[in-house]
Structures are given as structure tokens and as C-alpha cells.
Amino acid sequence: MTAHLDAGQVLPFGLAAFVLVSALAAAWVWWDGQARFPRPGAELWVWAAGTLVALPVFLPLYLLGARPVGRIARCPACGRPTLSHRAACLHCAHPLAFDALPDRWGLGEAVGVAVVFMVTLPVVVQTLGLEVTSDLGQLSAVAVVQNALFVALALYVVRGRYRLRPAAIGLSLKRWPLALAAGMAVGAATIPLSVGAERLAVRALGWLVGLQRAEAMAEAEHARDVLAGILRGPLTGAELAWVVVLVCVLVPVGEEVFFRGLIYGALRSWSPAGATAVSALYFAGVHQQVVHFLPILLLGVVLAVLYERTGSLVAPVVVHGINNLVAVLAILNNWNL
């Protein structure tokens, strides 16, 4: 007998999960603020309580605005956590062998921006009734706002909070002809790689659920693609041109600034290999696909390595754009890639 949940069961479960996440986030804000604020008091209570009751608003505001930057270390005198780049402990005023001010953003800012896109923006979209449907106008509005925010918030982090140049997140045209050529060459090579990875994923999934069902799952994921519904509908020449610009230029720029520039940049303090693996897993995970998880994961690895080697987002944006262009052409021409 197969057990399944109906909508009435799923909603309470989702609400309970959100409440639990909010409670954990509020507890973390309280702990983190105790170490960062000189005199934690009413202000910290507001941030913690606000995160508990309105996480989509208060958590990103705390991480991206109110939270003092810097690494936390334990005071040798009182043993409490405190900012390591201060001359004295925030709690007992004991002198510290302090670090220099941080010259790189960390996971706090990366998580703050991620919350905006994974939680805050969907809440706003639902509130305004702008669902991501096969309506070109609504899809365009959501995509433009989302990718503009990707760039704007990343620039705010590097410029506003850390006083760094845009090149810190890969927004540099240094040696752009070479980066452009590299992107075009690698982009062409990733097409057969993605096709092969999808077929491998279907076969691997076939061992678990049967090959016919795995192939049906792959087709279903293609069919659920909002872009497919738009491209298979009636479009004028101007509308088709706009879709190509949106999908092959604006989306690659926004997503590369976020996933490679900001996320990979925050993780790179671990190691290039660790940053590549985690950023690629995150890139694949947010697409919420099963069969196509492996192709997206491999593409994320390629994009991170290319960014690491070139130091610019030009090549990753070109590779991303080429992959999206091939997807558009496949839908328009009914290619079975």
C-alpha cells in the first residue's frame, strides 16, 4: 500500500518546517549578535524576534545591513566570542592581538543574498500575484527583477560593505577577447557533455525506477519548463528576440554574478576545490530537478573552474549563454538532445 500526502497534510508540514527554521535562525542571530554588537540589548532583541516572526524580511536585513563584519574569536580573558579585528574584547575590554579588517565577504553575506532569492522574492511574487507562468510578460518581470537584484546586491556587498572593486566578483573586462574566445570554446564543448550527462542520469535512475519511467521523468521535467510553454506558443519576431536576450544574456549575467562571483567567492577561503564542489551543488540544487541534476552540476563545476582560471565572469557568462541558447533552439526545433 502506497502512502501519499494530500494538500491538507503538506501545508501544515511545510508551515511547521518554516517555523522550525525561523526559530533556529532567530537563535543563531541572537548568538551571533552577542559576539558582534558592543552592547547587545534591545536592538539585538529586535533582530532576533523579527527573524522569528518575519524571517524573509529581518534575516537578510540583519545579514546584509546590521551585522558588523569580521571574524569571531574567543577572548583569552573572559572566554566569550568577540570580533577578532578589534583592539579589545567587546565584553571585558581585555586587549586583543587583533586581525586586520576583513577584505573579503563571507558566508553571512552569501546566505543573506540567497535568502532574498529563495524566500523573500518568492513571498513578494506571491503577494503581488505574479506567478512564474507561461505568460511572457510575467516571466519577464520576475526574471528582470531577480537578475537585476543578483547584480545590485552583489555590488552592494563588495562596494558598500567591503569597499572592494567590482572585479572582486568577476565584473572585469580585463583580457576580455581571450576570455570570450575561451568561453565560446568551452561552451561548445559543454553541449555534448550535458547531453551525455543527461543520458547517463536517465540510465542511472533507470536502475532504480526502470528505464521507461526514468525517460518519462526526463520528459516531464522538460515539459514543466516555463520557457518551453512560452517558446511553443505564438510569438512575434520581437517577442522571440526578447526571449533570446532575456535567457541568453540577462539571466546568465545575473546568475553568474550570484553563483560564481558572490557564492563561489565567499566559499573560496576554504579552497578552490571545495568552493567549486559546494557552489556547483548549490547551483544544481536550486534548479529543483532530479534527472537534470547531474548535467547542471557538471555545468556548475565547469563554470567555477573557468572563473577560477580566468578571474573574470566573461567566460562563464558566455558558456552559460551558449547552453541556454542551445536549450532555446532545441525547444523551437523539437530537437531530442
Looking at the chain, the number of H-run helices and the number of E-run strands are 15, 2
Encode pLDDT of 91-128 as tens digits. 788 888 777 777 889 999 999 999 999 999 888 877 77
Quote the DSSP letter at residue 313: S
Q: What percent of the chain has pLDDT over 70?
A: 93
Rounded to whole angstroms, the Cα distance separating 222 from 61 reads 36
Instruction: Please provide the DSSP assignment of 129-155 as one string.
Output: T----S-HHHHHHHHHHHHHHHHHHHH
Q: Is 13's pLDDT higher than 80?
A: no
Q: Is 10's pLDDT higher than 60?
A: no
Mean pLDDT of the chain: 89
Encode pLDDT of 79-93 as tens digits. 888 888 778 888 788
Encode pLDDT of 224-279 as tens digits. 888 888 888 788 999 999 999 999 999 999 999 999 999 999 999 889 999 999 99
Q: Is 8's pLDDT higher than 60?
A: no
Amino acid, single-letter form, for residue 159: R
Rounded to whole angstroms, the Cα distance separating 117 from 200 reads 31
81 backbone dihedrals φ, ψ, rounded to 5°? -70, 140
Q: What is the pLDDT of residue 80?
A: 84
> How distant, in Å, are the alpha carbons of 42, 45, 100, 116 from that of 22?
19, 15, 33, 14
Q: 135 near 272, Cβ under 8 Å? A: no
Rounded to whole angstroms, the Cα distance separating 73 from 99 reads 10
Q: Is 2's pLDDT higher than 60?
A: no
Q: What is the pLDDT of residue 130?
A: 63
The neighbour count for residue 292, using CB atoms within 10 Å, is 22
Largest CA distance in the chain: 71
